[in-house]
Every structure is written in C-alpha cells, then in structure tokens.
Amino acid sequence: MRDFAMDTSRGLAAAGVLLAAVVHLDLWPQGLRDIHTIGPLFLLNVIAGPVIGVALLMWRHRLPAVAVGFGLATIVTFWISVVHGLFGVMDTAAGTPEILAELAEYATVFFGLAAAALLWQAMREHIA
C-alpha cells in the first residue's frame, strides 16, 4: 500500500511541476520574454519543469526533494513579485494563469513532501 501511495504522490507532484511549466510556457510569449531577468527565469521554469517532472516519474530516488525545492522557489519568487515586486516587475495574484500555476506549485510541494516522507520511511525501515 505504501508503494501505491508513494507512486501516486510522486505522480501528482510531477503533474504539478508539469502544469506549472505549461502555464509559464503560456505566459512567456505574452510579453514576459521581453522583461530582462524575468523572461529568462520563466524560460528556465519551462525547461526545468518537464525535466524534473519526467525524472520524478522515472527515478525512484530523492527527487521528490528537488520537486519540493523547485515548487517552493517558484512560490516564494511569485509572492515576492506580488507583494514587493521582483526585478522591477510587480505581479498580480488575480489572473487565471497565476492562480493555476500557484495551485500547481502548492500541489507539487504537498505531494512532493508526501512522496519524500514515504520514501524516507521506506529507506529507514530497509536499513533497520
């Protein structure tokens, strides 16, 4: 049963990373690519998202922690951009793409943590 829960958590974390990457891909050509630092960071998210998502599905290792870190970094930078502005850009949390990407990142963090906890528990039982 734990393997099923771990695989499901990993799959949902991967889905969150992939969905967030798709949203960033959708927003990038809508003017964000022309913003000096934000554009390349959006493109990095577009490229790293599928790499992390596919690796999370293919590898049964410590990758849930990478997905959690990636999700947290994206959430934190988004909220810094909304509250204070980031690299001269003040974002809004009201648009559909923003809300969708934010929910996807929260799912990535939540399910990535669940997968990491289950993996850690399995590794600990294997050692003992």
Tokens of 3: 């393997």
CA dihedral (113, 121, 52, 74) in degrees, to 10, reads: 20
Q: How far apart are CA 15 and CA 47, in angstroms?
A: 15
pLDDT bin (cut points 50, 70, 90) of residue 59 is confident
* Structural domain containing residue 38: 2-127
- Any idea which of 24-28, 59-63, 78-82 has the lowest mean pLDDT? 59-63
Task: Reply yes or no on whether the pLDDT at 96 is more than 80.
Answer: yes
Total-model pTM: 0.84
Number of domains in the chain: 1
Q: Quick check: 27 and 78 in contact, CB under 8 A?
A: no
pLDDT of residue 93: 66
Task: Reply yes or no on whether the pLDDT at 124 is more than 80.
Answer: no
pLDDT bin (cut points 50, 70, 90) of residue 100 is confident
Name 64's Cβ contacts closer than 8 Å, sequence gap at least 6.
9, 10, 13, 56, 112, 113, 115, 116, 119
Segment 4-37, tens digit of pLDDT: 888 888 899 999 999 999 998 988 888 777 788 8
Q: How far apart are CA 50 and CA 33, in angstroms?
A: 19
Phi and psi based region of residue 95 (left: phi greater than 0; alpha: psi -120 to 50; beta: remaining): beta
Task: Reply yes or no on whether the pLDDT at 128 is more than 60.
Answer: no
For the beta carbon of residue 32, count every other beta carbon within 10 angstroms. 18
Alpha-carbon separation of residue 69 from 10, 40, 116 (angstroms): 14, 19, 12
